[in-house]
């Protein structure tokens, strides 16, 4: 499998400021809240228009229920806009405060959609963190991935959102997130290069600053010599 390595999503010299990004996102959300959300009838009418534009008849038997089905599917695909990933991580456990080794979840199934073409991004996510004084239920990490994935995305942003949210809420000694995914906007259209995956990473705290911690994480997820750089 050809692998395009995209490391160093952000580095110290980039001037990246998570607080500014969060303020910007709050502003965008406020603008979105002010916009009138189309009704279901309007959404289904838009699907009918696309079917006609593609050259088919939305009133033929096989397509009669398609606008409704597409709208229902979009409700599932983009449910993440209505969920708060921070709230998912607020319930933690301090009974394991004496545990000071790395916690890793690997091969979390990723299903998202490219914001440029609204076609699937399919792959897997690996998450590791080094707890300070509390840990979170393992299912919550997978749910955080799902919330951000169920939005229109680019992989670089998705990687940073997952890592930054875990770091902000849990405040561990460090966080590492690696995503490997195939983009159907590239494999089924455009340059049409099947078998190509894109790898992105975001390393924070000890995962960025301590090469030993970073190597341990990459070794656990089965990718020790991938060439992924710290972000």
Higher pLDDT, 44 or 196: 44
Domain assignment present for residue 43? The answer is: yes
Q: Report yes or no on 195 lying in a domain.
A: yes
Residue-wise DSSP of 17-57 = -HHHHHHHHHHHHHHHHHSPPPPHHHHHHHHHHHHHHHT--
116 carries an active-site annotation? yes
pLDDT at site 33: 60
Q: Model confidence at 195, in pLDDT bands (50, 70, 90)?
A: confident
113 carries an active-site annotation: no
State what percent of residues in the chain have pLDDT above 90.
Answer: 66
Identify the three-state secondary structure at position 70: helix
Q: Domain end: 76, 105, 130, which one?
A: 76
CA-to-CA dists, residue 30 to 20, 36, 77, 146, angstroms: 15, 12, 22, 23
Annotated active-site residue in 116, 153, 156, 167 = 116
155 and 60 in one domain? Answer: no
**Do residues 211 and 183 share a domain?**
yes
The pLDDT, as a whole number, for residue 48 is 97
Whole-model pTM over 0.85: no
**Residues composing the chain:** 231
Half-sphere exposure of 143 (CA within 13 A, CB side): 13
Q: What confidence tens digit (pLDDT) does each residue in 153-178 have? A: 999 999 999 999 999 999 999 999 99
Q: Identify the active-site residue in 153, 155, 161, 167.
A: 155
Task: Say whether pLDDT at 9 is over 70.
Answer: no
In a domain, residue 228? The reply is no
19-31 tens-digit pLDDT: 455 445 544 555 5
Q: How many domains does the chain have?
A: 2
Alpha-carbon gap, residue 16 to 26, rounded angstroms? 17
**112 sits in which H/E element:** strand 103-114
Would you give the end-to-end CA distance of the chain in angstroms?
A: 23
Query: Where residue 180 falls among pLDDT bands split at 50, 70, 90?
Result: very high
pLDDT at 80: 96
Range(s) of the domain holding residue 97: 2-14+91-220
Stretch 112-138: mean pLDDT, rounded? 93
Residue of 198 and 9 predicted with greater confidence: 198
Q: Could you identify the residue written with the tokens 């924070």?
A: 204
In a domain, 138, yes or no: yes
Give residues with Cβ within 8 angstroms of 79, minimum separation 6. Answer: 150
Whether residue 6 is predicted with pLDDT greater than 90 in this model: the reply is: no
Residue 226 in domain: no
Residue 111 main-chain phi, psi, to 5 deg: -130, 110
Mean pLDDT of the chain: 85
Q: Catalytic: which of 113, 180, 183, 216?
A: 183
Burial class (CB in 10 A: 0-12, 13-18, 19+), 103: middle
Q: Is 15's pLDDT higher than 60?
A: no
**Is 43 found in the same domain as 68?**
yes
Same domain, 105 and 164: yes
- From 226, 220, 174, 175, select the one nearest 200 (Cα to Cα): 226
Catalytic residue among 21, 83, 111, 117: 117
pLDDT for 219 beyond 70: yes
Indicate whether 227 belongs to any domain. Answer: no
Region of poorest pLDDT, from 23-32, 114-123, 172-181, 195-204:
23-32
Looking at 52, 68, 75, 115, which residue is catalytic? 115
Judged against a pLDDT cut of 70, whether residue 61 lies above it is answered with: yes
Q: Which of 21, 83, 114, 156 is catalytic?
A: 114
Nearest in space to 155 (alpha carbons), one of 112, 189, 215? 112
55 and 120 belong to one structural domain: no
Q: How confident is the model at residue 227 (pLDDT cuts 50, 70, 90)?
A: very low
Residue 72's alpha-carbon distances to 121, 123, 151, in angstroms, are 19, 23, 15
183 is catalytic: yes
Known catalytic membership, residue 114: yes
pLDDT recorded at residue 2: 45
Looking at the fold, whether 40 and 126 belong to one and the same domain comes out as: no
pLDDT given at position 3: 42
């Amino acid at each position: 499998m050809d692998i395009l390595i995209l490391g160093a999503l952000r580095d110290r010299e980039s001037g990246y400021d998570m607080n500014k990004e969060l303020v910007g996102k709050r502003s965008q959300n406020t603008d979105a809240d002010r916009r009138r959300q189309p009704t279901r009838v309007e959404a289904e009418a838009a699907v009918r228009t696309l079917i006609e534009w593609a050259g088919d008849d939305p009133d033929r038997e096989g397509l009669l229920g398609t606008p409704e089905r597409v709208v229902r599917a979009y409700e599932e695909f983009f449910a993440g806009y209505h969920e708060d990933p921070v709230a998912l991580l607020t319930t933690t456990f301090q009974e394991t405060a004496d545990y000071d080794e790395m916690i890793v979840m690997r091969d979390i199934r990723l299903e998202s959609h490219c914001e440029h073409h609204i076609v699937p991004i399919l792959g897997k996510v690996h998450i590791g963190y080094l707890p300070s004084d509390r840990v979170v239920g393992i299912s919550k990490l997978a749910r955080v991935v799902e919330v951000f994935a169920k939005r229109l995305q680019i992989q670089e942003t998705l990687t940073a959102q997952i890592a930054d949210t875990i770091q902000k809420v849990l405040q561990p000694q460090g966080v590492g997130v690696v995503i490997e995914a195939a983009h159907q906007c590239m494999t089924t259209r455009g340059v049409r290069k099947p078998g190509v995956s894109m790898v992105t990473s975001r390393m924070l705290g000890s995962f960025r600053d301590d090469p030993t911690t970073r190597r341990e994480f990459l070794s656990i997820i089965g990718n020790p010599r991938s060439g992924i750089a710290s972000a």
